[in-house]
Chain A
Amino acid sequence: MGKLLGKLKTIASDVGLPLALISGLFLQSCSESNRSTAKTESVDEDVAKAVYVAPGKHDELYSFLSGGFNGQVSVYGIPSGRLLKVIPVFSQFPENGYGYNEETRPMLMTSHGFVPWDDLHHPKLSRAEGMADGRWLFVNGNNTPRVARIDLTTFETVEIMEIPNSAGNHCSPYPTNNNEYILAGTRFSVPLDLAKGGMGDASLEEYKDKFRGSISFIKVDKDKGDMELDFQVLVPGFDYDLANGGKGPSGDWVFFTTYNTEKARTMKELGASQNDKDYLAAINWKLAAKYAAEGKAHEMPANYYHNKLDHGTHKATSTIKKKVRYLLPEECPGMMYLLPAPKSPHGIDVDPTGEYMVVNGKLASTLPVFSFSKMQKAIEDKAFDGEVNGIPVFKYDAVLYGEVKEPGLGPLHTEFDGKGNAYSTMFVSSEVVKWNVKDLKVLDRMPVYYSPGHLMIPGGDTKEPYGKYLVVMNKITKDRYLPTGPELVHSAQLIDISGDKMRMLLDFPTLAEPHYAQGIPADKVAPNSVKFFKLDENTHPEAVKKEADASVTRQGKTVKVNMTSIRSHFVPDNIEGVQVGDTVIFHVTNLEQDWDVPHGFAVMGADNAETLIMPGATQSLRWVPKQAGVYPFYCTDFCSALHQEMQGYIRVSPKGSNVPIKFSSGEKKPVPPPNGGPASAGIN
């Protein structure tokens, strides 16, 4: 019997293989899914183990993905691809009241008014000695030019600064190796009015003469991280695309790709694609800083916002800056050079040694690699090929190290593994290509899903990359997940790069378009995480630190409620004396001193948001009741078994009524209870 079964099995497998082959051929000939079949085949069977992080265990790395047009940063664990947090930066966030409550609204103020959204492209981790130090994350707002700083002890946006004389803050924010400066370059050039300040009025026909770009040098406080716009370099009126800093020998330099050196102003898809070569702009930031310090800088009027969140009060304040200093490259010899680069280059990436600058010419068929030492020699030899606005242009051959031949179609971005290899995304041919930086030979190719954009190797832009993983982010995704209507979720793929061949590990969905990401080993960030704010250190002017101090006061047409929350009640929870048309401001202090016990506050009919108050913090919500009635308010964050009971009422009487202000929490009992805890302490 057993023998017979064994025989049958061998026959079945003999027949099975040809059958599978035939059906495979048949499927390929009649379906369009052969492409995705090929991709599925490139996934090993044991990859699940490589990304599995057991329940309760932590990921190896944090990764910070930009959310593009959602104006947020999303934090993922690597290798699991689990979403850990969404950090609102330039967008209002109803989940916690960011940008809605009184404390955080000033964060979104700009010279254009309150701008509660932006297009966030590039997260960059702060650095020490050229390595990510896990203290802060800098991000750019592309649309209304802004640079923000996120504090990685709290994962909160703590500072947003507007960038004057900029339009489309795209090549931004690039930190030098010790955060001496954060550099932010403009994508669009605009007419600048140097006399009156800011953008001028000019005819579009005057583009060639009147439009200019700017590159901003933002100083960062060594200890606190606070930013300050030190000066700007006013550059020719091209479009500036991406930037990256040097390291090691090139540590004093920062590089910017440019396009539209034609200075076209209309139908740029054609107009800006005529010149065979655009430029890679090289700026010696140290020399620029020296020139600025030595008085080469001019001053012009400006009008830009600088918003900061205070540690103690958890309140943001806006300062309006009225001046900006600027340098003109033609007056600062040796500060800026142009390297001819293939047409419309996109990413510029400097390898870990600091010697090689890879320019990703998205329309070029080769990938040029420039040599920093050749560039230094070309400066010595004056190997120039003319100049633009007084900025010397190098001879192509004098600075070129070599070209990667047939790397793929549409190279966009490159990062490095620290073992002498580079990885480039190919937008058109939809793949990641691994090549050797020294001999420029292609080593491996990994097909990725439709149209990759940026890729990220944790620390891949630093001196010592963490060459184990590569995250490649989509520009356009099609069928990675169950369909969700016309709009599909954006996505990232995790690739193992520890071996000779790349290994596809995981797809994970992302929020909005993940333009770029940064990764860092978890142990550089996790140990510094703040668990709660110390109530003693809360210096919010409206904070109430004991239930006995809670109050409701009227000042003209404003009613101020200074309220406390603790599991599982508010003090006060009965409020009367508010009238229709009053402005009620709830200042809620969360008295908890425990990890992950925020309390929410929401009132019926509020037309802004709820707010979420972290333990030990105070947050304030503005509410203007429009109708008389008794309005419930409650805690929105499930905080304990008695969370549902964490609620109260506020009575709104008609305008002009004579109901006095009255508030309480817990009624006085006729017979005092034997054990009067705080819950039943009467406050009248």
Chain B
Amino acid sequence: MNKLSRLLMFLAALSLGLLFLSPMWKIYLKAPQYPEGLEMHIWVNKISGSSESVLQNFNILNHYIGMEPIHAESFAELKIMPYIVFAFMITGAIVALVGKRRLILYWGVLLLIGGAVGILDFYLWLVKFGTNLSPEAPIKVPGMTYIPPLLGRKQLLNFEALSLPSTGSLGILLALVFAAIAYYVSRKNKLEEQTLITT
């Protein structure tokens, strides 16, 4: 690995830091009586909203349909995930320092798997909350579940739900892109080195 690919690998590790600066995912709810909309922000370590009281208002709406209140404490994942991200950042930096090309590949693949597991886990949260409804709920619509879309738009009673990855997720994408380029660049250099030796 040359200087450039090491630098790229550092950047890849650093990109993951975005996860702490911005939400990974956002769920928007819109209804005629909520013209300003409700936004739930899912971070790597917490759940918040576009303003501090949004979560409370989400829960007030959800309690009519018997959904469990959503709190940051409801998710054990939020406690574990930051450490996993840290681990990737540190190992990424180590890969850059060690400079073994193959490690980039392992690191990238692991991150890819980590991301996929995260998305799967997120989907399972949504299913759990959308289907695990209290039998005492004031509003019961036969056959209705309230799983928000994982990606894209969905009508939930009078609410239009929109779910999109946010800037935080871009961190993972950037990390993968930087790692891929680092991998590619080091390959080119390897070739050059080889030609140098052979001549």
Q: Which A residues have a C-beta under 8 Å from some C-beta of B?
A: 532, 566-567, 592-595, 640-642, 645, 673-675, 677-680
Contacts and interface: CB of A to CB of B under 8 A. Distances in A.
A589 to B, nearest CB: 14
Contacts of A640: 64
Nearest to B62: A677
Nearest to B139: A641
18 contacts: A567-B60, A592-B56, A593-B53, A594-B53, A594-B57, A641-B138, A641-B139, A642-B64, A642-B138, A645-B138, A673-B135, A674-B132, A674-B134, A675-B132, A675-B134, A677-B69, A678-B63, A680-B136
B66 A675 contact: yes
Contacts of B63: 677-679
A594 B136 CA distance: 25
B68 interface: yes
A642 B63 CA distance: 11
Query: What does DSSP make chain A's interface, helix, strand, loop or mixed?
Result: loop
Contacts of A675: 66, 68, 132-134
- Which has the most chain B C-beta neighbours within 10 Å: A595, A677, A679? A677
A531 to B, nearest CB: 9
A674 B60 contact: no
- Which has the most chain B C-beta neighbours within 10 Å: A673, A674, A675? A675
Contacts of B36: 595
Nearest to B57: A594
Contacts of B135: 673-674
Interface string B153-164: 000000000000
Given A594-B53, A642-B138, A566 B68 contact: no
Given A641-B64, A679-B63, A673 B134 contact: yes
B194 to A, nearest CB: 64
Nearest to A566: B60
Contact of B56 (A593, A595, A677): A593
Contact of A678 (B57, B66, B69): B69
Contacts of B66: 675, 677
Contacts of B52: 593
Contact of A593 (B57, B68, B138, B139): B57
A677 B139 contact: no
Contacts of B60: 566-567, 592, 594
Nearest to B69: A677
Interface residue range, chain B: 10 to 19
B53 A677 contact: no
B95 to A, nearest CB: 45
A645 B56 CA distance: 20
A670 B190 CA distance: 72
Interface in B101-157: 132-136, 138-139
Given A641-B139, A642-B138, A677 B57 contact: no
Given A567-B60, A675-B132, 13 more contacts: A593-B56, A593-B57, A594-B57, A640-B64, A641-B138, A641-B139, A645-B138, A675-B68, A677-B63, A677-B66, A678-B69, A679-B63, A680-B136
Nearest to A679: B63
A108 to B, nearest CB: 33
B102 to A, nearest CB: 49
7 interchain residue pairs of minimum CB distance: A593-B53, A675-B134, A675-B68, A594-B57, A567-B60, A677-B63, A593-B56
A678 to B, nearest CB: 7
A674 B53 CA distance: 26
A431 to B, nearest CB: 44
B106 to A, nearest CB: 42
B48 to A, nearest CB: 14
A641 B56 CA distance: 18
Contacts of A680: 136
A500 to B, nearest CB: 41
Contacts of A594: 53, 56-57, 60
B119 to A, nearest CB: 26
Nearest to A593: B53
A53 B36 CA distance: 20
A542 to B, nearest CB: 22
A532 B51 CA distance: 12
B129 to A, nearest CB: 10
A581 B182 CA distance: 83
Contacts of A678: 63, 69
Contacts of A595: 36
A399 B69 CA distance: 75
A157 B134 CA distance: 44
A594 B56 CA distance: 9
Interface in B58-97: 60, 63-64, 66, 68-69
A675 B59 CA distance: 13
Contacts of A642: 64, 138
A680 B63 CA distance: 11
B79 to A, nearest CB: 22
A673 B60 CA distance: 19
Contacts of A673: 134-136
Contacts of B133: 675
Nearest to B133: A675
B65 to A, nearest CB: 11
- Which has the most chain B C-beta neighbours within 10 Å: A532, A645, A674? A674
Contacts of B132: 674-675
A678 B135 CA distance: 15
Contacts of A674: 132, 134-135
Contacts of B53: 532, 593-594
A655 B56 CA distance: 42
A566 B64 CA distance: 12
A566 B132 CA distance: 23
A674 B63 CA distance: 14
A678 B53 CA distance: 17
A532 B52 CA distance: 12
B134 A677 contact: yes
Contacts of B138: 641-642, 645
Nearest to B68: A675
A136 to B, nearest CB: 26
Contacts of A677: 63, 66, 68-69, 134
A679 B139 CA distance: 14
A372 B88 CA distance: 78
Contacts of B68: 675, 677
A595 B53 CA distance: 10
A498 to B, nearest CB: 32
Contacts of B134: 673-675, 677
B51 to A, nearest CB: 9
B101 to A, nearest CB: 52
A595 B139 CA distance: 23
Nearest to B136: A673
A520 B134 CA distance: 51
Contacts of A566: 60
Contacts of B56: 592-594
Interface in B10-58: 36, 52-53, 56-57
A675 B68 CA distance: 6
Nearest to A56: B35
B111 to A, nearest CB: 36
Nearest to A616: B53
B189 to A, nearest CB: 57
A593 B133 CA distance: 24
Contacts of B64: 640-642
A679 B132 CA distance: 17
A404 B122 CA distance: 79
